Structure 1
């Protein structure tokens, strides 16, 4: 980092990031986002106060300093949602820093987060999800690639997995049985049931895969034998949605949204869905009730004689 920071503050930032990685089990993408957000804030404070930023400068921050930072970020085009994320990272860092250096962090912790309209998930319809599962194999250049793509997509929709979670499976998961143990965000483990369709899709892939699937190596492989990438999964979904005439919102992550929404529509318990998705709080899962309500209102408005 080429930041104008005091050695103590630079060391504190590095130790905080190391703890997030080691103790919290944060993913590398999360660590990179934390580093970018907090480093950007500290860099602004150094320029704003006219010198190297140190612990004393952080301890003496005022609401005016924080408003100046947020105004600067909005002025360079940072969206409210991204700024709220950055402020959350800054709060976490300062909350960690304050007791170690004996200052009151109230000013930073009480800073108001910018308001933004949270986007609702955009799941596929049940028919569209079925079409994706049936149609994804048509674009595989080789039979084993077609079987692989079907297995990945079936897992994401049938088990509610994130792309990263599906791609983190190893050869020891080649015969999952009735459940899979998944390590998700923040190192949180959860047990998800494996539908027979998903088990059959994995079995078909492992029978056709030309690469050795040892227990410790990635289960899903690219054409040359290396780990299958997120980008390739995105390409698979893109080709499939274009062939089916589905909207651009039909992404790999939309399969996870579809899993949750379809379970909820079928009468699934919200708390159980939270556990299946691996959400840390019920609030994250409750967004799917808003999707259900929004869809209900669309039907109501279309059918009501006075709409």
Structure 2
């Protein structure tokens, strides 16, 4: 039964990250033709944005070593319509050569994760990202920026929300058009979510420029989505079937499952444009190829997994 809640947005954008954030955490390397079919099926299910891959060095993420080949396989014209992640100038160069017009960079709100993941400091990461963003914009591409460890860090513990706002604002000042705030280890709670969005608002960054990227480690992802909706956020990252995981959190169940998000939004009467049956079929199909049970509760309920 659909029961709208007063004060919530009428419609949201679901930013599907399964082909990139989901598959990069799988132990097995998915064949190129399966990856391409996965992206096509997600698009056919009505997902408006599907992040296809990442142009990282194959040594770092061998699961996505075929990024250029995947883009070529999926391309339908001179400009590739799906966003891709680029870690540095070299990755951006490869993405632009492949015709990508939507790129994303990945920053950290904490020193330890910046050192471990970027071989940098929180301050110096901006020096690394500045030429990437500038060149992307000069080439006519738009840039999304991810900020990881926005609510908790496995080495440093709770994260100062003002530190997250500082990093986020710096990325927007570089030229990023959207900021995705990541609960990388899934420890965030609803109060923290609302507080962080309000802090960005106080810094002059409206909820329309923010996206939220939740992991469901402690089963709080949908509760956190609700808090973000109440704060005016209308873009949410999710991964089909709950694909992906977090190597930094014990028992992490991975990304918020797209199907669970769709079911939740539908119940509130919030538009999203996604065909749930087609999405469930797609996630069931991919889970079979990965030899695993979908993490999504909705897929298990509707797909018989």
Q: Name the TM-score class by shorter chain.
A: under 0.3
After TM superposition, the score normalised by the length of structure 2 is 0.22
Higher-strand-fraction structure = 2
Structure with bigger helix share is: 1
TM-score (norm 1): 0.22
